[in-house]
Amino acid sequence: MNQTLFDAPGRFYKGNLHTHSTLSDGVLSPQDVCLRYADRGYDFISLTDHFVGRFDYPITDTTRMRTKNFTTILGAELHSGANSAGELWHILAVGLPADFAPSNTPTFQPRDDQETGPQIAQRAADAGAFVAIAHPHWSALTEADARSLQAAHAVEVYNHGCDVECDRGYGLQTLDTLLNEGRRVTLCATDDAHFATPDHFGGWVMVKATDNDPDLLLDALKQGHHYSSQGPDFHNILWTDDEVTIECSAVNSVTVQGRGSGTSQIVGDTLTRVTLPLGRVASSPWARISLIDAKGKRAWSNPVWKTDDGWV
């Protein structure tokens, strides 16, 4: 059975879901951020400024930066409540309404009389947003923290800014822990660009949609119709009960991952079409694919789940 993503109508649109501007602590104006991404060939971004009182709770209005070939999804990085490290939650919310009610978060210090992280995440999801657990390694999130964010659609498994600035950019273990517990989450790679360091153009999503339209892109993200990348591209993934065939841009390794320590891998040179026996992954309830190219750049599929109709 083919993965739904590649059967879905439309084409892939490249986007960055996590970005800051001068409306919070970024260096560039909202317009300049959009121009940089459009010039780099991105189809869309979400400007996700820090939703705190110090910055007047911005849902940055990027609608005027939309063009024929470039669009934007309104969003914010939400902050409310303390995680188990005693620090303020960071929650990515892409697709917020412009009038999303402010939280009670005057600064980056958590306080007792504000929503918890799980509560504000739920409020964002209820308002229509695609919600992701932001930079779990940088935030020192525990498994219990990640588990508590029940409204999250996805885990941010790569945050380019956190990778460049403090070598804490990855969240794959958080993702796999939730998958092992049966949580139906997807994943995303982002920049978290502030443009004060080389923290941009390093992690993105490729979203399959029928048009480069904010509502269609958001719907596709919530359905998991995307993959995430630092460089390589997936062209197709074809699952059967005991093997998977992957077509992709040239890479040096292709790995299928499943529950626990279950993996199956092929390493080589300029691999563009491989068929992997699932091995132990065949008995896993979920499976996902990682690619690594000659420069060490990675791409990740969203997980698929085993059903009576095969992997979907």
Q: How far is the CB of 151 from Zn ion (least distance, A)?
A: 17
Q: How far is the CB of 235 from Zn ion (least distance, A)?
A: 31
C-beta of residue 90 within 8 angstroms of C-beta of residue 135: yes
Indicate the residue type of 157: V
| 5 vs 134 by CB, closer to Zn ion | 134
Interatomic CA distance for residues 205 and 186, integer angstroms: 12
Q: Which of 30, 33, 51, 77 binds Zn ion (CB under 5 A)?
A: 77
**Choice between 75 and 232, CB closer to Zn ion:** 75
How, if at all, do strands 204-209 and 226-229 pair? antiparallel
Choose, by CB under 5 A, the member of 192, 193, 205, 225 that binds Zn ion. 192
Shortest Å distance, C-beta 153 to Zn ion: 17
CB 220 within 8 A of CB 14: no
Binding segment toward Zn ion, per CB under 5 A, in 145-153, 164-172, 186-194, 277-285: 186-194
Give the residue nearest to Zn ion (CB).
Answer: 90
Give the 3-state secondary structure of residue 75.
Answer: strand
Of the two residues 163 and 192, which places its CB atom closer to Zn ion in the complex? 192
Q: Are strands 71-72 and 44-45 parallel, antiparallel or unpaired?
A: parallel
Residues 238 and 244 sit within 8 Å (Cβ to Cβ): yes
How many residues sit close enough to Zn ion to count as binding (CB under 5 A)? 4
Closest approach of Zn ion to the CB of residue 88, in Å = 9
Q: What is the DSSP letter of 19?
A: B
- Decide: residue 249, CB within 10 A, 0-12 exposed, 13-18 middle, 19+ buried: middle
Report which residue type is found at 306.
K
Shorter beta-carbon distance to Zn ion: residue 192 or 293: 192
What is the rounded distance in angstroms from the CA atom of residue 97 to the CA atom of residue 175? 27
> What is the three-class DSSP state of 271?
strand
Name the amino acid, one letter, at 125: A
Of 94 and 125, the one with the shorter C-beta distance to Zn ion is 94
Shortest distance, CB of residue 164 to Zn ion, whole angstroms?
13
CB 178 within 8 A of CB 147: yes
Rounded Cα–Cα distance for residues 124 and 153 (Å): 11
Binding mask 82-111 vs Zn ion (x if CB under 5 A, - otherwise)? --------x---------------------
Q: Is 222 among the residues that bind Zn ion (CB under 5 A)?
A: no
What minimum distance in Å lies between the beta carbon of 192 and Zn ion? 4
Would you give the binding string for Zn ion spanning residues 252-271, x where CB under 5 A is met? --------------------
Cα three-residue angle 250-220-46, rounded to 5 degrees: 85
Closest contact distance (angstroms) between CB of 227 and Zn ion is 22
Here the tokens at position 218 are 């958001």
List the interface residues with Zn ion, window 116-155 (CB under 5 A).
134
What minimum distance in Å lies between the beta carbon of 77 and Zn ion?
Answer: 5
Candidate segments 69-77, 195-203, 223-231, 261-269, binder of Zn ion by CB under 5 A: 69-77
**Residue 79 binds to Zn ion (criterion: CB under 5 A):** no
Please identify, using beta-carbon distances, which residue of 38 and 88 lies nearer to Zn ion: 88
Q: Does residue 163 bind Zn ion (CB under 5 A)?
A: no
CA distance 122 to 153: 11
How far, in whole angstroms, is CA 286 from its chain's centroid? 18
- Give me the residues that bind Zn ion (CB under 5 A), please: 77, 90, 134, 192
